[in-house]
Each structure stands twice: as C-alpha cells, then as structure tokens.
Amino acid sequence: MRCNDQMRRGDRVPLLHPNTLTSVTAERPPVRLRPEIAALPAYRQGRSATADGFKLSSNENAFEPLPGILDAVAAASDINRYPDAGATALREKLAPRFGVTIDEVHVGAGSVSLLSQFINAAAGPGDEVLYSWRSFEAYPGLVTVSGATSVQIPNLLDGRHDLTGMAAAVTERTRVAIVCSPNNPTGGVVAAEAFARFMAAVPSDLLVLLDEAYIEFVRDGGAVNGHALIGMYPNLVVLRTFSKAWGLAGLRLGYAVGPAHVLDAARAAAIPLSVTGPAQAAGAAALDHEAELTARVDRIVTQRNEVRAALLETGLPVLESEANFLWLPLRGDTEAAADILHSHGLETRAFAGEGIRVSIGEPESVAKLKQAAVDIVDNLPSTLQMGRID
Ligand SMILES: *Cc1c(COP(=O)(O)O)cnc(C)c1O
C-alpha cells in the first residue's frame, strides 16, 4: 500500500542534525513530482537594463503611472482586509463598455491567470489545446500544467496565424483553441474575415480564447477586434489586460468578456481572492483616465512605426507589427545580434534560431537601437538577406 510504503521508506532515513541535511538529501529518493512539470523550464523574465540602458524585453509601457492612478492605489489602503472576491466595482465599469452584464465579465490577476483558468476549466489529461506557434511563451506551460496536450500549428512565414491549418487540426479531443492577435512575439494581426471563417469552421462547443493583450495598439482597420464580436458566438471568450497599454503590469490585472456560464467555469477554476484591492482600484482609475492613456498609446504607436522604418532602412528584416514591439526574424544570427544589442545597453527577447522581439520603450532608446542596428548589419551581413519572405 502506498501509505505504508512511504512510511517504511522514510524510516530507513536516519534522523540527522540540520548541519548534515545535505547528506539526507543525497540519501533520500527525490520527491515524486509529475515528470512533465519537473521538466518544464521556469518562467524566464526579461533581463533588467543597466543604469544607462533600456529594458525592451517585456513589452511593458515605459511611461510612468499617472498620478491619479497612483492616488487610487494609495487610497485602497485597507490592505489588512481581503479584497472583493468578485472585483464588482471594476466589473461594473467594464461591462457597459462592452454592452454586457457583469456576469459576462471576469477579472483575474493578469490575463495569464485567466488563460490558466479557462484552460483548466475546459481541458485536462487526454484533451488537446490548439494554438499557433511561435506565440505567447506562457501557452505551452499552462497547457502542460493542466494535463492536456499542446497542438502547435506553425505560423505562416509572415509570422501570422495559419487559421486554416488550425481549423483543420481540430479533433474531437480539442477543448480549447487560442488565437493571439496581435501575435506575441511576431506582431501581426488576424484579419476579421479570417477569424470569422475560423469560427464558422470549428465546432460551436469548442472554447475559443481570443487573446487581445495588445489590441489597443492596433491601427489596421481590417484586424479582428473581440469587442465587435461580443454576443455573436456561444464559444468565444475575449481576453484583455491592463498590463500593456494601460501600464499596470506590476499590479497584475486582466479581464475576460464572454458567455456567463463559461466565465463561471473559469471563476470556479480560479484561486479565490487573487486580484488585490489596489489592483482593482488601479484598474477602475485607469478607465477614468482613458483619454490620457490613449494619448500615450498613440505616441507608442507612432514610435513603433518610426522605429520599424529606421530599422528597415539599415537593411534589417522587421515584420509589420500592430503591437508595442517589433519582431526581427534573424534566424541563425539571433543570438549574435542579441549580444550586439546587449552591448549597446538594450535588453531584448531573443528566441535562438528564430528571432528577436524588441519592445517599443523609452523614446531615448531609439537612438541606441538605430546604432545597434547598424552594428548588427556591419557585423552580421547575412542578416540583410533574411527579411525576404516573398
Ligand atoms: C503580456 C501578455 C498577456 C498578459 O499578461 P498579464 O500581465 O498576465 O495580463 C497575455 N497574452 C499575451 C499574448 C501577452 O503578451
């Protein structure tokens, strides 16, 4: 029997003084873990910048928080009490923006926790979760933790989702399909028409998560926008976050809009009370400061377009982006190019053999970025050939 077995094994280990703990670890068999979890790489955070450098590795909003939002956080001072588990005040502000009831809005500690809740609510061992790849780094780990299996459909050459391929990969085991638009890290959007075809092609009982972490940066009028689709599909949940455009990454706040019974399942899969009071207050205050925040987003978009043009001018390949980052498909030169960026004080996100994602950050980072780009092209002339995808 399992229990006796463990006791007997424990009995064989002599009780040792704390100083000799290492020898205990050496003698004991390792703690039994789920092998697929033990094999998971831990979350890799973007490197912090040096004093005169810039952190362009986590798609954060480089603007400092607005004073009005900081005041709201400070006013949420009853931190000796648990927060409102339902984030009611925030949901009451969000619901009318989407023309839904508050039951059709769910708030989580970042949209990563929402992704986790929806995946756990719909998929488990033996089930499949479908998404495009390369995409958001969190997807594979979240799926593995749920016990389900990832099915990854390679991106098209322009970095966008192959939605036809994704629809064709749906089996009776598929429980969740994730569509990320704009796609992190490649920056391209899903066209509204392509998304409509995808929704028509997949079964209406398959949960589709539309991850719109960067929607506020989109200027392509033909792109899918979950807001316009609310209420149209019984199986669609739209995920948004306060971390990027809204500048609240450090407080952990995201939300989902979709059918109430699907959101109820996510609520059931959530760790209760994980959205803190200060985060809820900050989200509500941010919505009150939308005009100022939107003006900042406009500046980020302008800077994105300028940086892309400048990098293209040096000859580097840079995909079109509708987000607050750019993707340089540098393939075999990725790591060498990331080192050059690092030597210029620029921390970026490199995916070995694939490319580099550069966040649009402080305006002061742009000059360094241009210098680094020239340096890359001078030192790695093969990068000049890489942008050609046609
Ligand atoms: C940043 C990001 C998120 C959200 O992050 P949270 O900070 O957890 O809200 C979700 N999806 C994608 C694709 C992202 O890049």
Q: What is the pLDDT of residue 16?
A: 53
Name the average pLDDT for the chain: 93
Q: What is the pLDDT of residue 11?
A: 47
Q: In this predicted model, what pLDDT tens digit does every residue of 300-311 receive, in sequence order? A: 999 999 999 999
> Furthest-apart CA pair in the chain: how many Å?
70
Q: Is the CB of 327 under 6 A from ligand 1?
A: no
Q: What is the pLDDT of residue 9?
A: 46
Q: Is the CB of 243 under 6 A from ligand 1?
A: yes
Q: In this predicted model, what pLDDT tens digit does every residue of 59-85 receive, in sequence order? A: 999 999 999 999 999 999 999 999 999
Share of the chain above pLDDT 70, in %: 92
**153-172 per-residue burial string, b: 16 or more CB within 10 A, e: under 16:** bebbeebbbbbeebbebbee
Could you give the domains of the chain? 54-62+291-385 (3.90.1150.10), 77-288 (3.40.640.10)
Residue 243 alpha carbon, nearest atom of ligand 1: 7
- Rounded to the nearest angstrom, the distance between the alpha carbon of 213 and the centre of ligand 1 is 5
Q: In this predicted model, what pLDDT tens digit does every residue of 49-58 receive, in sequence order? A: 888 899 999 9
* Segment 161-186 mean pLDDT: 98
- 334-343 vs 365-379: helix axis angle to the nearest 10? 130
Does residue 21 surpass a pLDDT of 60? Answer: no
Give 201-205's long-range contacts (Cβ < 8 A, gap of 24+): 201/167, 201/170, 202/167, 202/170, 202/177, 202/235, 203/170, 203/235, 204/233, 204/234, 204/235, 205/235
Q: What is the pLDDT of residue 4?
A: 42
pTM of the model: 0.92
* Segment 123-148 mean pLDDT: 98
Q: In this predicted model, what pLDDT tens digit does every residue of 357-366 receive, in sequence order? A: 999 999 999 9
Q: Is the CB of 213 under 6 A from ligand 1?
A: yes
Does residue 387 surpass a pLDDT of 70? Answer: no
**Of residues 284 and 4, which shows the higher confidence score?**
284
Q: What is the pLDDT of residue 22?
A: 56
Q: Kindly report the protein residue whose alpha carbon is nearest to atom 12 of ligand 1.
A: 213
Run of H or E residues at 175: strand 174-180
Q: What is the pLDDT of residue 5?
A: 43
Classify 132 as helix, strand or coil: strand
* Segment 115-132 mean pLDDT: 98
Q: What is the pLDDT of residue 3?
A: 41
Q: What is the pLDDT of residue 364?
A: 96
Q: In this predicted model, what pLDDT tens digit does every residue of 189-203 receive, in sequence order? A: 999 999 999 999 999
Q: What is the pLDDT of residue 285?
A: 98
Residue 58 alpha carbon, nearest atom of ligand 1: 1
* Segment 219-245 mean pLDDT: 98
Residue 249 alpha carbon, nearest atom of ligand 1: 7
Find, among 365, 385, 263, the residue nearest to 317 by Cα: 385
Does residue 128 surpass a pLDDT of 50? Answer: yes
Other beta carbons within 10 Å of 92: 12
* Segment 356-385 mean pLDDT: 94
**Of residues 285 and 26, which shows the higher confidence score?**
285
CB 308 within 8 A of CB 331: no
Share of the chain above pLDDT 90, in %: 86
The confidence band for 24, taking pLDDT boundaries of 50, 70 and 90, is low
- Rounded to the nearest angstrom, the distance between the alpha carbon of 253 and the centre of ligand 1 is 10
